[in-house]
Structure 1
Amino acid sequence: MKRKLLTFLALPFLLLACDDATPDLRIGAKNFSESRILAEMILALAEEQGVPSSGIVDYPTTPTIMAAIKEGSVDIYPEYNGTGLVMLGQNPMSDGAQATARVKELYGPLGLTWLDGFGFANNYGLAMRSDRAAQLRVQRISDLVPAAESLGIAVEDDFTVRPLDGLDPMTQRYGMRFGAVDVVPLDDREVVYDKLLKGEVDIAEVYTTDGQIAEYGLVLLEDDLSFFPIYDAMPIARAEALSRYPGLGPAIAALAGKITPELMQSLNGRVDLEGRSPRAVARDALARLDLIDAGAVQTQDPLVIAAEPSFADGALVLRAVQKAFTGRDVQYGSTNDPLVMVASGDARLALVGAEAFYDLSNPAPQRIAGYEAVAAVGQSVLHLIGRREAVSSLQEIETLAVGGDGSSSARIATLVIEGLGLSARAIPVEGAAAEALAAVSDGRADAALVMTFEGDPVVEAAMADRSKRLFPLDGWSEGANLVRFPFLREARIAANTYTGQLTSVETLRTQLVLAGPAPEQGDAVGDQGPAAVAVELQPISGSTVALLNALIPGNLAVDPALPLAASLAPKLPQPPAALNPSPGTSILSLILVGFFVWLGWLLIRPKYR
């Protein structure tokens, strides 16, 4: 009895001893890729030192995670010195060293320590599609002011609640008000890029280390009023957590200055664009920096989209393919003849004009077997641009600059010269549309044939000095051109699309599509057995084709002149069921009828005693 009493009396002290046991390290992160990657690095470095951790907890906004570390729910998380200032109501600073010294001074009395920076700054910024920025002649944020009320901007919800460096303070500083503000959750912030690329908004609020900026060729507007402060990335930790685990501070210090802006942009891209996990990307980076003992992340060969240098809509297509092939590194491969890269297995998809599906060497072009259109992307419009003082009509053009051999403009130029009976000689010029137009400017060619979208800033730049003009393709519908070349459709460039173009211009267009391998006709097994069938030359699966079409905006139908992927073929209505059943069904029906007649007779037959 005495032993039980002593045990009972000792129980509170035992429980108290359990409470004094060292708790696990609590790591926080904000709900976006960069913060998660850095938090995973902190976790990996802590584990290398044997520091027990309860894992990483995501927080939806900056105020919530800042409150969590102040009250002790979080021990350490990656933050930015500029954010630290504005969260305490301090004026932003553009000098990183001064900002760091100030946050250390302000947060020290709160029991919080700012450790050495990771090595990069991630500032807020505003980005636009290059074509839209060129159309509006926007290079700086101040350039948005005159048209702001007619423009839309996509921002994350965290940006709308920041007291000194958020949406409202920014618009007040620049003296503008946007016509529409599209707010998306912080943990789904890649949607701002979807909206920007699809044209649903004109501007997107971005982070300057986002991988999408370079990947999609976006224009980062100059912060000409220096509104946004510097945001050097660095860990912030509770001082008592650093004391509790003496090895934690030195372990994280080994990462100080190791992450360059370019490296962080690359790491963000692997998560946001390739669909890899922040944990795998973080540990792979640490292993490559020799900071942890771990193998690199296994990677697949990149998925290549073959395309001509001059083709537009690249960002939209890239975004759609990245989402349809989650986890793959999707890249563009530049070539004059994209379908050749698909045939060789060097590319999985090709971004081509409709004419690429035809052999143009014969008077009547024939379809090339082995390829199918999997998604319509847009229209590629023929622009025939010449020097005003050199030629006044199509018939006077002697030299015509086109793309390299096999390119869309080179192939179509051959058809235009033949179809209109011109005497012009095509001159191949390697590179994009700008190079062909330069040949006109410097006198190497009388005119240039460029296949691009209507309103292309490159064409506008060439037309801006009014020394060039657009030539109409009058007379194309005469003769058999429409029948011989069904993939070339008549079109019209609207008046005032370009500087000095006062009237509409008759021209041609061809549909721009994503193409992939078509199912093989006949025996798919080669003379070396089933293993001889190349996996990369198999058609794109029906589910992936459907997803690509859902992700590419516009809901365009593929031109009927092109071979269509099976999953896109129209569903024909099913014929009604035959009124006359099969003989077997008829016999069974007769047996059943006879059976019911017999049952009825049993019910009404006279009873005999």
Structure 2
Amino acid sequence: MPRVLSLAAAAALLLGTAACGSSDSLEGQASDGGSGSADKGSVVVGGQDFTESQIMAAIYQKLLENEGYSVQTKLVTTRDVYLPELSKGSVDIVPDYLAGLTDFLNADANGPDAPLVSSNDADKTLAALEPLAKAKGISILPPSDATDQNAFFVTKEFAEKNDLTTLSDFAALGTPIKLGAPPDCEGRPDCEGGLTKTYGFTITSIVPLDFASAQVKDAVKSGEVQMGETGTTDGTLADLGLVLLEDDKGIQPAQNLTPAVNADFLSQNPDLQDVFNTLSSTLTTEDLAAMNVQVDLERKKPEDVAQQYLSDKGLL
């Protein structure tokens, strides 16, 4: 799932989604929180290094500093780097995506060909995740309603001309299409596999274009491809004359933003559960999209966007 989001210019979004392999190291990736009190000790916030995750890490940092912890952030590219560190306690807490985390731990425990245990049902996916995480020494706090799933877009002009609002509407046209998406889209149930088997699209080719990139958006606008892949929190589409089509048959698994915490750290700092539960109960998908736009289009710093969000929501 939402592999690692490849962010280009104004279109950097995550995906949430499941990360591909990497040999990146957490060493040398740390960023000091700076202003927090060290009265309660130190905390390391981990995660992936793309816009949305940068913002969420900054939000976590500021909440922790507000509680009296000294904070470092260590952002890398993929789950296979930071999850082992979270498991052994070198990282204490990460913002992650429900189905992506579930599928990663399931594959780690049961092999890469293990049947998927995530679905578009957040409660069922959480139930599948919890024992997998517990076996790795990781506690999962309640997910937020905010979600960043993979999604597919077309031009607004094409959607209006053909009265399209859903993927089913588009598939019903019966027109063969080219799809702009990363190469690993082929066969995936949340990408080419689901589009063809569940929706009935005829996809003549997958044009290899990075997820949510400026290139895939240009390709859709120019007609090189008829549909492209991005994330549901991509706030750049409207200004480009592009629109998302609703995944009305639910091929995308639940990618709710979910705090994952080292179990020993949480047992030693139980007060943090209420802090992050309050955040999760406040955060929405619209909030994520708005904050992404502020960083990607308005060129604000993630830490400034995080500070403003928390202040506006009365969380600091």
Q: TM-score by structure 2 length?
A: 0.70
1:427-463 residue CA offsets vs partner (Å, 9 max, x unmatched): xxxxxxxxxxxxxxxxxxxxxxxxxxxxxxxxxxxxx
Tell me if 1:238 matches 2:256: no
For 1:229, the aligned partner's letter is P
Tell me if 1:69 matches 2:86: yes
What does residue range 305-324 of structure 1 map to in structure 2 within 5 Å?
none
Match of 1:204 among 223, 228, 246: 228
Instruction: From the superposition, tell whether residues 219 and 232 of structure 1 become closer, same or farther in structure 2 (CA, over 3 Å).
Output: same
Instruction: From the superposition, tell whether residues 144 and 283 of structure 1 become closer, same or farther in structure 2 (CA, over 3 Å).
Output: same
The residue matched to 1:225 in structure 2 has which SS?
coil
Structure 2 match to 1:46 = 64
Instruction: From the superposition, tell whether residues 76 and 208 of structure 1 become closer, same or farther in structure 2 (CA, over 3 Å).
Output: same
- Tell me by how many angstroms 1:57 deviates: 1.2
Structure 2 match to 1:389 = none
- Tell me by how many angstroms 1:267 deviates: 1.2
Indicate conservation of the 8 Å contact 2:98/2:143, yes or no: no
Distance 2:73 2:262 in 1: 16
Q: Which runs of structure 1 show a deviation greater than 6 angstroms over 4 or more consecutive aligned residues? A: 146-149
For 2:178, the aligned partner's letter is G
- Tell me by how many angstroms 1:42 deviates: 0.8
What does residue range 375-390 of structure 1 map to in structure 2 within 5 Å?
none
Tell me if 1:250 matches 2:270: no
- Tell me by how many angstroms 1:270 deviates: 1.1
Question: Pairwise CA RMSD of aligned residues?
Answer: 3.4
Structure 2 match to 1:118 = 144
Distance 2:216 2:277 in 1: 34
For 1:33, the aligned partner's letter is T
Distance 2:275 2:194 in 1: 38
What does residue range 257-272 of structure 1 map to in structure 2 within 5 Å?
257-272=281-296
For 1:50, the aligned partner's letter is G
Match of 1:132 among 152, 158, 169: 158
The residue matched to 2:68 in structure 1 has which SS?
coil
Distance 2:283 2:275 in 1: 15
Indicate conservation of the 8 Å contact 2:61/2:72, yes or no: no
1:117-165 residue CA offsets vs partner (Å, 9 max, x unmatched): 33322222211111123456644324555888853333357x6499653
Match of 1:107 among 133, 140, 146: 133
Structure 1 match to 2:100 = 83
Tell me if 1:283 matches 2:307: yes
- Tell me by how many angstroms 1:282 deviates: 1.1
Indicate conservation of the 8 Å contact 1:86/1:164, yes or no: no
Tell me if 1:29 matches 2:47: yes
1:550-570 residue CA offsets vs partner (Å, 9 max, x unmatched): xxxxxxxxxxxxxxxxxxxxx
The residue matched to 1:179 in structure 2 has which SS?
strand
Indicate conservation of the 8 Å contact 1:86/1:163, yes or no: no
Tell me if 1:273 matches 2:290: no
The residue matched to 2:120 in structure 1 has which SS?
coil
- Tell me by how many angstroms 1:72 deviates: 4.9
1:281-336 residue CA offsets vs partner (Å, 9 max, x unmatched): 111111212223xxxxxxxxxxxxxxxxxxxxxxxxxxxxxxxxxxxxxxxxxxxx
Instruction: From the superposition, tell whether residues 191 and 238 of structure 1 become closer, same or farther in structure 2 (CA, over 3 Å).
Output: farther
| Residue ranges of structure 1 left out of the alignment (5+ in a row) | 1-21, 293-609
| Residue ranges of structure 2 left out of the alignment (5+ in a row) | 1-39, 107-114
What does residue range 555-566 of structure 1 map to in structure 2 within 5 Å?
none
Structure 2 match to 1:152 = 178
What does residue range 175-190 of structure 1 map to in structure 2 within 5 Å?
175-176=200-201, 178-185=203-210, 189-190=213-214
Instruction: From the superposition, tell whether residues 90 and 68 of structure 1 become closer, same or farther in structure 2 (CA, over 3 Å).
Output: farther
Indicate conservation of the 8 Å contact 2:56/2:95, yes or no: yes
What does residue range 483-502 of structure 1 map to in structure 2 within 5 Å?
none
Distance 1:180 1:133 in 2: 21
Indicate conservation of the 8 Å contact 1:121/1:261, yes or no: yes
Indicate conservation of the 8 Å contact 1:211/1:272, yes or no: no
What does residue range 523-562 of structure 1 map to in structure 2 within 5 Å?
none
- Tell me by how many angstroms 1:170 deviates: 4.5
Match of 1:55 among 73, 92, 95: 73
What does residue range 385-400 of structure 1 map to in structure 2 within 5 Å?
none
1:246-273 residue CA offsets vs partner (Å, 9 max, x unmatched): 4443332331211122222211221222
Distance 2:246 2:303 in 1: 33
Distance 1:31 1:190 in 2: 18
Indicate conservation of the 8 Å contact 2:177/2:202, yes or no: no
Instruction: From the superposition, tell whether residues 63 and 150 of structure 1 become closer, same or farther in structure 2 (CA, over 3 Å).
Output: farther
The residue matched to 1:54 in structure 2 has which SS?
strand
Distance 1:254 1:140 in 2: 33
Percent of paired sites with the same residue: 25
For 1:278, the aligned partner's letter is P
